[in-house]
Structure 1
Amino acid sequence: MSQRVNYIQQSPELFKKFLDFSNHLNGCAIEEHIRDLVEIRASQMNGCGFCLDMHVKLAKIHGERELRLHHVAIWRESPLFEPRERAALAWTEVLTHLPEHGVPDDVYERVRGQLSEKEISDLSYVVMAINAWNRINVAFRTVPCSSDKAYGLDKAGLA
């Protein structure tokens, strides 16, 4: 597989603004390890190899346990996730694949039981951002591992 378009070179000003937005999420109310899980799960759902590769490596760099990384795809069945993490993953899934009639009340209430309104709002922006990154990287077939050195992902020791 080869990359179709280098969107960074073609639209550098838009890339920089979107990267700035994404980087700003690092200071939001959602903890880093939950952001990592959310970015992994959305990337799995969207079939984005580039983002999945990147966020698994970032999670490893951030100290995430390897078994939990393998269990993100089966988080409902896995005993390795806390209620707050489960709420974030449920919200990620419902916003990534929006149901025909919107977000069901039972899903919202379950999430609201674990997260504050501010946290739900911030989490929604995290989900929006990773879905946008997934879409551009899937569309242009960005090659997994192609930016490891540039983003310091080689430090994950997963090559």
Structure 2
Amino acid sequence: MHGEIRRAKSAKETIMSAHAISERAKTNASARADYNALSGAIAEKFLAFSMALKDSSIDANLRELVYLRASQMNGCGFCVDMHVKQARIHGERELRLHHVAVWRESPLFDARERAALEWTEVLTRLPVHGVSDRVYEHVRANLGEKELSDLTFSVMAINGWNRISIAFQSVPGSADAMLGLTKAGMS
């Protein structure tokens, strides 16, 4: 019960932050329509869905690597900026963040992280004929079914955020203070 109240309070605070981000974006000349105001109920539910992922089997450090990789692939400057800073706040090493884009060649990631990054890539850019059995079995062998399922929802969420941030031209760094990202010391 207390956990549900804490999660509800946290989700409400995050929703309020999202509305504040939207208000700030309106003052930026390059920002487009205020999707939070126009589609408030939907935006709040999507944010609640995203917040629920914090309670998934995917730990925060791995989740940030996944969010960063999908954001890099999608070309979402706002989300790349945000997830680099969140990863640093969670204690991620700077060099590993630089290596996320070249994770296949980098010796800095373990088998579990590599599997998660591979799954992120295949779901972010779905192959014409879907996800191969080889990729599915490889990722499942390294993560297990529960983590694979939770990771899939995480990849769905970040791809959605990337698309809305790109469509409405969210400005990298514009919400750092509101989201507590100044703690990363990278502003």
Structure 1: 5+ residue runs without aligned partners?
A: none
SS at match of 1:118: helix
Query: Could you say which residue in structure 2 is the equivalent of 1:47?
Result: 75
Which of 121, 124, 128 does residue 149 from structure 2 map onto?
Answer: 121
Query: Could you say which residue in structure 2 is the equivalent of 1:143?
Result: 171
- The reply to whether residue 103 of structure 1 matches residue 131 of structure 2 is yes
Give the structure-1-normalised TM-score.
Answer: 0.97
Which of 98, 115, 126 does residue 87 from structure 1 map onto?
Answer: 115
Structure 2: 5+ residue runs without aligned partners?
A: 1-28
The whole-number CA distance in structure 1 between the counterparts of 2:134 and 2:45 is 35
The whole-number CA distance in structure 1 between the counterparts of 2:53 and 2:164 is 19
- The reply to whether residue 57 of structure 1 matches residue 85 of structure 2 is yes
- The reply to whether residue 153 of structure 1 matches residue 150 of structure 2 is no
Task: Kindly report which structure 2 residues correspond to 1:22-41, keeping only aligned pairs within 5 A, or say none.
Answer: 22-41=50-69
Which of 27, 30, 40 does residue 2 from structure 1 map onto?
Answer: 30
Shift of 1:85: 0.2
Shift of 1:10: 2.0
Report which structure shows greater RCO (CA 8 Å, sep ≥6).
1
Could you report, residue by residue, the CA deviation over 1:46-100 in whole angstroms, capped at 9, with x for unpaired residues? 0000111111100000000000000000000000001000000000000000000
- Aligned residue pair count: 159
The whole-number CA distance in structure 2 between the counterparts of 1:122 and 1:15 is 21
Could you say which structure has the higher helix fraction? 2
Q: Percent identity?
A: 64
